Chains A and B, each alone.
Chain A
């Protein structure tokens, strides 16, 4: 079995649109949450959202390629471009070698709704145009990114709710580890337009703290009132270690473990401490590490009472008395949903290489379940060698990844 290393990363999020800016935001505990007032006009209960810059692709991508791109595919292109640049992977390289592509994405609401509106009015598919089909499918990110970069390896999309991005990295890791791929571009993407989150807002799961956007997302805090939706894209170039060395690539970190589970419970939206634990345990077993080896845990905690509670119970059972620092970066980002599992790996690697743990912001009064956790309430400068990154989703899907600082052993 081969070693799997990260040689490139890219990010397009409400914390910034380049790695350096995002690292500074993480270090400073800066919130990327704001208000989109038109959500209220549209009928949302909450106007809170991560504020993500819209990429300007005109001039970067030919219109023939651009016309099929959904919003999340645009974000993913910007992140992928950064990741390939960082990995030293040129278009010429991609034209001559095999690189796979696995993105996590679980919806593409805007083109579906816009096409439906035209059909309701015109009742004529010939008046839809050609773009919607390539924008509306869940695989929109994969089909666009693979086409734009002429990718020749594995090519499919992972739809696993809010664990999609994490599973995409896990699957890329497994394919490389088993020798089936030398290099895979993986990650997660999430649209942020106001069509995309209406049905989630319907659950009453979003924070209503609209007078204090930066304080709205409060993982593990007693006074939280819900999550804040957010999005963008994160991309990583995962590569076989020997392959990376042979082409002289700069190795950033190593993926050493992937764990997954399904809750096996009867309520579609209810998390499970047992399910979370099984994913974490499987990832640590795969990585060959013990709880005492973990230096930092990037929690999934989204700032909902139930989700935070079950994860806190699971973390306490596995890490009680251990030294691992824990924080949920969602206090800053909001919940980046399909992208979150990938962006949080990027955030964790930035912390690992930067020698700090980003704070779990807005944690003013811990709830009863997070009392025993070793939560980082402020930025802590410390050495991080091993990270555990958690992602959980509706329907009981769980994913956990273990990352290691790269050491040339």
Chain B
């Protein structure tokens, strides 16, 4: 899965599953402050990522992952 496909899938579930306004999504968008993703959303994101990318997020690996771009980076490292 290449970077474009990863971003497409992430953008898609942010819009479809988390109902985030597409206009707010950008590379530098902060997950909590700009996209409004709260701690309970992260519980759902674990499930969504497992379904879409076939691996389970480990909370300890998410330290410092606070923007859309960093989140896609994290997924990219896991699916390579």
Interface residues of A (CB under 8 A from B): 58, 63-64, 67, 124, 126-131
Q: Which of A63, A124, A127, A130 is in CB contact (< 8 Å) with B19?
A: A63
With A64-B40, A126-B46, A127-B46 given, name 16 new contacts (CB 8 A). Answer: A63-B18, A63-B19, A64-B36, A64-B38, A64-B41, A67-B40, A67-B44, A126-B43, A126-B56, A127-B47, A127-B50, A129-B43, A129-B44, A130-B40, A130-B41, A130-B44
Near A by CB (< 8 A), chain B positions 3-30 give 18-19
Note all chain B residues with C-beta closer than 8 A to A58. 19
Q: How far is the CA of A359 from the CA of B44 in the complex (A)?
A: 49
Do most interface residues of chain B lie in helix, strand or loop, or is the interface mixed? helix
- Chain B residues within 8 Å of chain A by Cβ, number: 12
Note all chain B residues with C-beta closer than 8 A to A129. 43-44, 46-47
Note all chain A residues with C-beta closer than 8 A to B18. 63
Q: How far is the CA of A40 from the CA of B47 in the complex (A)?
A: 31
- Verify A127–B44 contact, CB threshold 8 A: no
Note all chain A residues with C-beta closer than 8 A to B44. 67, 129-131
Q: How far is the CA of A126 from the CA of B45 in the complex (A)?
A: 10
- Verify B43–A130 contact, CB threshold 8 A: yes
Q: Which of B36, B40, B41, B56 is in CB contact (< 8 Å) with A127?
A: B56
B45 nearest CB neighbor, chain A only:
A129
Q: Interface code B42-74, partner A: CB below 8 Å = 1, 0 otherwise?
A: 011011001000001000000000000000000
B36 nearest CB neighbor, chain A only:
A64
Note all chain B residues with C-beta closer than 8 A to A126. 43, 46, 56
- Verify A128–B47 contact, CB threshold 8 A: yes
Q: How far is the CA of A124 from the CA of B46 in the complex (A)?
A: 11
Q: How far is the CA of A63 from the CA of B37 in the complex (A)?
A: 11
